[in-house]
């Protein structure tokens, strides 16, 4: 058994969130889903997830509270839609929503919080930040996750992936780094999900904020644990 707790996936119907669910299923880890649309979740995952669903928005305190209770870990794959002017802005989702999720998770005794953030969050002049200051909002969400989950008995892992791409997991060697020094790069959503799930049981992933991209090489990967270990040696 890789991890024996129950993992709540927030944003489970998103493109990365779906892969998080698939990788948890792959390892036989117990999970719950926090989604806006039950219909979308059932279409994606089938009727067997019915009892695992909490419906709601990351903008709503009661719904978030219901979702996090009884979870041992949370993996947050939520992201606002910066291209849609009708959608709530990054300040409401990527900052306040993430902070709400982390705060309620901490209160309810969730032990490990995994946040999927983004490369370049510490670079306010990056072109992506023009969209509702999405990078700055993500950094503020990250800061609160670090503050809440660095206390004794709790832990966090914050992943900052490059541009997200489609493809099967574990087909490319990855590059992990810290300090937001990687200028650009891409990575399959499936591999981001895999790294997020592996952080549940990898000691070197605890209390870690790191960037991740894939290399151009094609080479089957058994696990990403060695990338976490090598990162810590630097």
Residue 115 C-beta: closest distance to ligand NAP, Å: 8
Q: Which of 214, 231, 2 is nearest to 119 (CA)?
A: 214
Number of residues that bind ligand NAP (CB under 6 A): 24
Q: Which of 158, 168, 151, 178 is nearest to 75 (CA)?
A: 158
Structure tokens at 161: 């992936």
Pairing of strands 30-35, 73-76: unpaired
73 binds ligand NAP (CB under 6 A): no
Residue 153 C-beta: closest distance to ligand NAP, Å: 27
What is the pattern of x (binds ligand NAP, CB under 6 A) and - over residues 120-159?
A: ----------------------------------------
DSSP bridge pairs for 156: 113
- Beta carbon nearer to ligand NAP, 103 or 164: 164
CA dist., res. 196 & res. 226, Å (int): 14
- Beta carbon nearer to ligand NAP, 58 or 99: 58
CA dist., res. 210 & res. 55, Å (int): 30
Structure tokens at 54: 């909490």
> What is the separation, in whole angstroms, between the first and last Cα of the chain?
29
Of 78, 105, 182, 212, the one binding ligand NAP by CB under 6 A: 78
Pick out residues in 202-231 that bind ligand NAP (CB under 6 A). Answer: none
Handedness of CA 51, 26, 24, 192 (dihedral sign): negative
37 binds ligand NAP (CB under 6 A): yes
14 binds ligand NAP (CB under 6 A): yes
- Beta carbon nearer to ligand NAP, 15 or 206: 15
Cβ proximity of 161 and 149 under 8 Å: no
Of 9, 17, 49, 157, the one binding ligand NAP by CB under 6 A: 17
- Beta carbon nearer to ligand NAP, 78 or 148: 78
Interface with ligand NAP by CB under 6 A: which residues? 11, 13-17, 36-37, 40, 57-59, 77-80, 93, 97, 116, 118, 161, 163-164, 189
């Amino acid at each position: 058994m890789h991890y024996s707790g129950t993992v709540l996936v927030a944003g489970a119907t998103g493109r990365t969130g779906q892969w998080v669910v698939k990788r948890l299923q792959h390892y036989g880890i117990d999970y719950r889903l926090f989604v806006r649309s039950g219909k979308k979740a059932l279409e994606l995952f089938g009727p067997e997830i019915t009892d695992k669903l909490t419906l709601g928005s990351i903008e709503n305190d009661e719904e978030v509270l219901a979702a996090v209770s009884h979870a041992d870990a949370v993996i947050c794959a939520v992201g606002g839609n910066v291209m849609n002017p009708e959608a709530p802005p990054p300040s409401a989702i990527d900052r306040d929503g993430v902070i709400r999720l982390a705060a309620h998770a901490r209160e309810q005794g969730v032990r490990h919080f995994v946040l999927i953030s983004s490369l370049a969050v510490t670079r306010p002049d990056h072109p992506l930040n023009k969209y509702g200051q999405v990078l700055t909002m993500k950094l503020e969400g990250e800061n609160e996750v670090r503050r809440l989950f660095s206390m004794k008995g709790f832990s966090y892992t914050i992943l900052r992936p490059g541009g997200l791409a489609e493809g099967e997991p574990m087909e490319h060697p990855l590059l992990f780094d810290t300090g937001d020094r990687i200028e650009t790069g891409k990575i399959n959503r499936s591999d981001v999900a895999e790294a997020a799930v592996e952080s549940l049981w990898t000691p070197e992933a605890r209390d870690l904020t790191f960037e991740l991209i894939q290399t151009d090489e094609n080479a089957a990967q058994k696990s990403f644990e060695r990338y976490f270990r090598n990162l810590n040696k630097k």
